Structure formats: structure tokens, C-alpha cells
Chain A
Amino acid sequence: MADKQEKREVYIEKRVRALTTMLLTRSDNLLIEEVTDDIGQDYIVRFRTPGKEGLREFGIELRGAWTSVTKDHADKVLRLALQQVKRYGPFPRPVCLFFFTMENDDAWYTWVAEPNVSQEGKHVLRLRDAPDCQPLDKRALKEIVDRVDLWYDGFFPSLIGNGQGKSKTVRKQSKR
């Protein structure tokens, strides 16, 4: 019985990966890396935006189940998954959790590390405490990509410092 359940989970996992690849490859501007190591993300998705600098990316962790669910049920089911993924953090990129059900091929997503702007205007990743599942389809994927894109617009400038990095005084002190 346990063996049968384990096999069933393997089937679900395989199919969830296939459905994710199907969804992601609908957009030909996305570079998709399937992660095999245990880093709390099954996919890293990268893209460039015409007219903007820098390679932008986000991570995806996958979950699947047999029974189809409502939003409330999906939020409940993914609560534990969200906590599990958060243990791998902090993350250097935005991270989403995708959830597929086999019964009717429904798909949901929730942010784990959500692109956000703090009150001080800093571009930060907010680790969610609870899932807020939204239906996942081609349109939702575009919204995710647009949000990540916008976040990097503000995040990249905060990473880059021109010149030798430290202030003149600090450089003088370190030479002594």
C-alpha cells in the first residue's frame, strides 16, 4: 500500500513537471532551467526585457495532488508546503509555488518570496506567512513575469556602485 502511494506520488510529480514545462514554454522569451538539486526550487526561469538591462529571474517550486481544489482548499493544502520552501531561504530571487491537481488539471500559484517595495523605497523580497493562491494560466504567468520584471527595474540600481566601491576616506584608511 505504501509502495503504491509512493508510486502515485512519483506519477504526480512527473506530470506536474510536464505541465509546468508546457506552461512555461508557451512564452518563447523565457529561459527555463530545471533544477535537479534540492535547493527549494524546481525551476529557475530567466528572461531579458527588450530595452532594459540585466537578466531577470525567478524560482518555482512545484507541488501536486490528485484531488481538485477550491481556492480556500488550495490555501490550506499549500500552507505546509510554503513553510517547507521558506526553510531554504532567504532567496536571491523572487520565488513562486505552483500547484497542479490531476483530477481536472487545475493549476494554482502563490508567492513564497514576493517582489515588494518597502516603506523606505527599497526593493525587497517579502516572505509570505500564508499562501494566497491564484489560478495559474498563461495570463497569470505573464502577470508573474511582469511583476518580476518591474521589481528588477528598481532592484538592479541598488546593486550597482560605480568606481572602486568604498568611499575615499575608507580606501585611505585601508591602505595604511
Chain B
Amino acid sequence: MATRDLIGKRGEAIVTARLMDFCGNPDPYFDVHPLGEKCPTFDYLVELVNSGDSVPYFLVQVKSTQQGFTLKKRRLIIQVTKDDVVRMVRCPFPTYLVGVDEPNDRAYIVSVHGNMRGAIATMPATYPLTPRNLYKLWVEVKAHWRKLEASVKRSEFLYED
């Protein structure tokens, strides 16, 4: 296996293991669904577990690195293209970037939204995927979906004749 593939495969495994950490609970906070190599921008659709009948979810791009952190601000060194950033910002669902510090088996998360427009070269290591942050993430995504109203959906393609 090429080194790059190995880092990618390993990064995916680290993200799955961290996001699906049971954190001492009977179930994990999240269920992770890989979107496959052909899906542009996003690598995972992540569903919230035990969040009621309607299942909220968010989308994730994963970047694995062996380059470590910047010296001054200790930011994880990764590469995300400008196009991907714009696509993530425009998506109406919650979108996150997960950076994986591959040699240390650690993963960090940051939301991609608002006025972000340019390519990303580093990301903060402020939010590791720890049990505390996983819970906060679960609450944040659930709150976002609570604002969406299923009854306002309209369609031309009606089930009734």
C-alpha cells in the first residue's frame, strides 16, 4: 500500500474510532457512514445516535497528516482547497473539518461556516475529539436541526394521485 493511502486509511480508522467512542455510555454519540472516494468534498455523513425519531446528521471532511503542528500557535498542518471550503460553507447542514494527527492517533474538529472563503493550511488543535467535545458536538448539531421544520417541505412530486 502506498504511504499516502496508508495514512488516509489510518486517518479514517482514527476518525471512526474517535467519533464512535462510547464515552462510558451504552451507545456512542454518533454513527459514522463513509461516503466513498468519489464523493466530492465530504468523506463522512455522521448521524446522531439517540436523538429522537428524526435523525440529525452532519457532514465531515477528514484530513490526515504526519506533518504535526506549527511551532508558534500549535496548529495542525493540513491542506484543504478553497473550492472545498466554499462548498462546505454553502451547505445548509452542519459541516466540519476533522484533522487527524496520525502519528499520535488524535483527531481535532472545527466547524466550517460563516465567512470562511480561502484555502486552509492549518487548523486549531483546540477541540480534540474527547468525550466532552463529542457531547458538545452532539448538542450543537441537534440544536441546528431543531430549527429545521419538516412540515414546511414542499414538492412537485406528490405521492397522492
Main DSSP-derived SS at the A contact region: helix
| Contact of A28 with B by CB under 8 A | yes
**Chain A residues whose C-beta falls within 8 Å of the C-beta of B31 in the assembled complex:** 10-11, 14
CB distance from B138 to the nearest CB of A (A): 14
Which of B12-20, B73-81, B111-119 forms contacts with chain A?
Answer: B12-20
A103-B22 in contact (CB<8A): yes
| Contact of A70 with B by CB under 8 A | no
A21-B27 in contact (CB<8A): no
Tell whether A14 pairs with B22 under 8 Å between CB atoms, given A21-B10, A22-B105: no
Number of interface residues of A (CB under 8 A): 19
Which of B1-9, B88-96, B153-161 forms contacts with chain A?
Answer: B1-9
**Chain A residues whose C-beta falls within 8 Å of the C-beta of B14 in the assembled complex:** 18, 22
Number of interface residues of B (CB under 8 A): 21
**Chain B residues whose C-beta falls within 8 Å of the C-beta of A26 in the assembled complex:** 10
| Contact of A8 with B by CB under 8 A | yes
Tell whether A66 pairs with B10 under 8 Å between CB atoms, given A18-B17, A28-B3: no
Tell whether A14 pairs with B27 under 8 Å between CB atoms, given A21-B10, A25-B10, A31-B1: no
Tell whether A66 pairs with B22 under 8 Å between CB atoms, given A8-B27, A31-B1: yes
**Chain A residues whose C-beta falls within 8 Å of the C-beta of B105 in the assembled complex:** 22
B13-A22 in contact (CB<8A): yes
| Contact of A102 with B by CB under 8 A | yes
**Chain B residues whose C-beta falls within 8 Å of the C-beta of A19 in the assembled complex:** 13, 17
**Chain A residues whose C-beta falls within 8 Å of the C-beta of B141 in the assembled complex:** none
- Chain A residue with the shortest CB-CB distance to B14: A22
| Contact of A15 with B by CB under 8 A | yes
**Chain A residues whose C-beta falls within 8 Å of the C-beta of B134 in the assembled complex:** none
B20-A14 in contact (CB<8A): yes
A21-B26 in contact (CB<8A): no
Interface residues of A in 1-57 (CB under 8 A from B): 7-8, 10-11, 14-15, 17-19, 21-22, 25-26, 28, 31-32
| Contact of B24 with A by CB under 8 A | yes
* Residue-wise interface mask of B (120-150) relative to A, using a CB-CB cutoff of 8 A (1 in contact, 0 not): 0000000000000000000000000000000
21 pairs of residues in contact across A and B, judged by CB atoms under 8 Å? A11-B28, A14-B16, A14-B20, A14-B31, A14-B32, A15-B21, A17-B16, A18-B12, A18-B20, A19-B13, A19-B17, A21-B9, A21-B10, A22-B10, A22-B13, A22-B17, A22-B105, A25-B10, A31-B1, A32-B9, A103-B22
